């Protein structure tokens, strides 16, 4: 695999290609994820979606015209005392945070949510095989 084809390089390229507030937002949340979990694994899935994992998917970072959407794979099982989740609230499994232009995310609360997602993933029973 060429270095430019690694997931971190592809995420760098996505951030640069966006070239606006969405790229800035994606870069900021990426930095917060890495601060919260230095062992996080960056992946590139589903034809161009940044994914952060640790013993399973923590969250994805999709960029749309009006929002950057951070979807937590097991968000419905996470405590969210700061009320960061504001999208996909009706589902049984996932929860999402939509960040719109001009909005910022509470860095401490977001890092706590990432750490809680890691803890939840690590507590999951492992398949034997």
Does 129 map to a domain? no
Stated pTM of the model: 0.93
Does 102 map to a domain? yes
Does 113 map to a domain? yes
Does 55 map to a domain? yes
Q: Does 129 score more than 70 pLDDT?
A: no
pLDDT at 127: 62
Does 128 map to a domain? no
Q: CA 45 to CA 121: how far, in whole Å?
A: 19
pLDDT at 94: 95
> Which tens digits make up the pLDDT trace of 78-97?
999 999 999 999 888 999 99
Q: Which of 61, 62, 72 is nearest to 94 (CA)?
A: 72
Q: Does 12 score more than 60 pLDDT?
A: yes
Q: CA 79 to CA 82: how far, in whole Å?
A: 9
What is the tally of structural domains in the chain? 1
3-class state of residue 35 by DSSP: helix
DSSP classification of residue 66: S
Show the beta-strand stretches assigned E in 18-94: 41-45, 49-53, 57-63, 68-72
The parent domain of residue 104 ranges over: 3-123
> Which tens digits make up the pLDDT trace of 25-75?
999 999 999 999 999 999 999 889 999 999 999 999 999 999 999 999 999
Look at 129 and 81; give whichever has higher pLDDT: 81
């Amino acid at each position: 695999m060429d270095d430019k084809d690694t997931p971190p390089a592809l995420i760098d390229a996505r951030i640069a290609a966006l070239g606006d507030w969405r790229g800035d937002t994606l870069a900021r949340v990426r930095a917060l994820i890495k601060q919260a979990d230095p062992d996080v694994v960056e992946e590139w899935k589903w034809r161009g979606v940044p994914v952060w994992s640790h013993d399973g998917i923590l969250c994805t970072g999709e960029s749309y015209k009006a929002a950057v959407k951070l979807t937590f794979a097991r968000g419905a099982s996470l405590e969210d005392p700061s009320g960061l989740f504001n999208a996909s609230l009706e589902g049984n499994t996932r929860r999402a945070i939509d960040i719109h232009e001009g909005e910022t995310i509470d860095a401490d609360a977001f890092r706590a949510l990432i750490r809680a997602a890691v803890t939840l993933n690590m507590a999951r029973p492992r398949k034997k095989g």
